[in-house]
């Protein structure tokens, strides 16, 4: 210190204790960032579970120093300000529900969950191909007399068929909800491919919503790769060839 009078003051033990608590609070954010950036493609279905888990982790931490307490409260307040109504965002809620890793495990907003389930049911009904019904009330009334006892039979049969069709439309969703969750490290889209025969209608909705990225990291990687390919020494590459080179570059090494 005598030779360096302008040197910064030595860190004190109390400051080290504060830094340890700050590191403990910020550590999960580092892990989330690494996970979001290390994966080649992160679906929007991960947004709600990550936010819920981070918030619960922060609420469980119990710092002792004022600076760490202030940091914790500030982060929690920012979470409430930015993500309090994220479950009301239809895209995120539906993507999370259709992800077999999460389903409704983290969807604690009952009203939003009910809207999502109703939306999925309506989508299944709209996308389902109409089944041929051999009987109808009109044809039955036209083909038999009003006094024919089989007219009542035909009406009851038709109602039974309608009930059966309605049950088949909802049973696909019920089977999906009742099925166990898959592991966190498994690929949701790959899992849906194996479910194609079981959930033929749900898989269309799942592919539609799970393809939405959770962040802009994939797009940023794409621009970085384009910059690495289209260098000054390769400036004469045609624009129609650049997408093909990017596609080839995106393929796994063992392809």
Kindly report, residue by residue over 79-121, the tens digit of the pLDDT.
Answer: 889 998 999 999 999 999 999 999 999 998 999 999 999 999 8
Is the sign of the CA dihedral 242, 243, 246, 251 positive or negative? negative
- What tokens appear for 72 in the block? 């914790």
18-27, 56-65, 124-133: least confident range: 124-133
- What tokens appear for 249 in the block? 């570059």
Instruction: Say what the pLDDT of residue 153 is.
Output: 59
Instruction: Say what the pLDDT of residue 190 is.
Output: 87
Share the mean pLDDT of the chain.
81
Instruction: Say what the pLDDT of residue 255 is.
Output: 60
Q: What is the largest CA-CA distance in the chain?
A: 116
Percent of the chain with pLDDT over 90: 28
Give how far Cα 118 sits from Cα of 79, 123, 128, 138, 237, Å: 28, 9, 15, 31, 50
41-55, 97-111, 145-159, 179-193: least confident range: 145-159
Q: Which position has the higher pLDDT, 154 or 8?
A: 8
- How big is the chain, counted in residues? 255
Nearest residue to 217 (alpha-carbon basis) of 29, 43, 30, 27: 43
Nearest residue to 161 (alpha-carbon basis) of 186, 126, 178, 137: 137
Residues 9, 47 contacting (CB under 8 angstroms): no
Q: Is 70 exceeded by the pLDDT of residue 157?
A: no
Helix 90-97 and helix 110-127, axial crossing angle in degrees, nearest 10: 80
β-bridge mates for residue 213, sequence order = 43
pLDDT in tens, 173-191: 888 999 899 998 888 888 8
- Give the separation between CA 55 and CA 35, rounded to whole angstroms: 17
- Give the separation between CA 49 and CA 56, rounded to whole angstroms: 11
φ, ψ of residue 40 to 5 degrees: the values are: -70, -35
Q: Which position has the higher pLDDT, 223 or 23?
A: 23
Q: Is 50 exceeded by the pLDDT of residue 144?
A: no
Distance in Å from the first CA to the final CA of the chain? 60
Contacts of 131 (CB under 8 A, 6+ apart): 165
Cα–chain center distance at 175: 19
Instruction: Say what the pLDDT of residue 187 is.
Output: 86
Angle in degrees, CA 129, 120, 85, rounded to 5: 160
**pLDDT band, very low/low/confident/very high, at 240 (cuts 50, 70, 90):** confident
- What tokens appear for 129 in the block? 């191909």
Angle in degrees, CA 59, 64, 70, rounded to 5: 60
Q: Is 90 exceeded by the pLDDT of residue 212?
A: no
Instruction: Say what the pLDDT of residue 154 is.
Output: 63
């Amino acid at each position: 210190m005598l030779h360096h009078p302008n040197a910064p003051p030595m860190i004190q033990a109390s400051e080290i204790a504060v830094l340890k608590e700050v590191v403990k609070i910020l550590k999960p954010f580092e892990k989330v960032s690494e996970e979001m950036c290390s994966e080649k493609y992160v679906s929007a279905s991960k947004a709600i579970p990550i936010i819920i888990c981070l918030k619960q982790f922060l609420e469980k931490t119990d710092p002792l120093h004022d600076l760490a307490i202030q940091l914790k409260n500030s982060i929690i307040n920012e979470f409430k300000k930015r993500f309090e109504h994220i479950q009301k965002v239809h895209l995120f809620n539906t993507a999370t529900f259709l992800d077999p890793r999460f389903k409704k495990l983290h969807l604690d907003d009952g009203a939003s969950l009910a809207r999502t389930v109703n939306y999925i049911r309506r989508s299944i009904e709209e996308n389902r191909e109409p089944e041929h019904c051999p009987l109808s009330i009109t044809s039955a009334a036209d083909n038999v007399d009003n006094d024919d006892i089989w007219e009542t039979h035909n009406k009851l049969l038709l109602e039974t068929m309608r009930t059966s069709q309605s049950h088949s439309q909802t049973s696909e969703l019920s089977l999906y909800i009742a099925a166990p969750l898959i592991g966190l490290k498994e690929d949701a889209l790959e899992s849906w491919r194996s479910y194609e025969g079981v959930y033929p209608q749900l898989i269309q909705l799942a592919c539609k919503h799970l393809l939405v990225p959770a962040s802009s990291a994939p797009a940023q990687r794409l621009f970085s790769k384009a910059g690495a390919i289209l260098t000054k020494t390769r400036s004469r590459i045609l624009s129609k060839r650049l997408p093909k080179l990017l596609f080839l570059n995106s393929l796994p090494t063992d392809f």
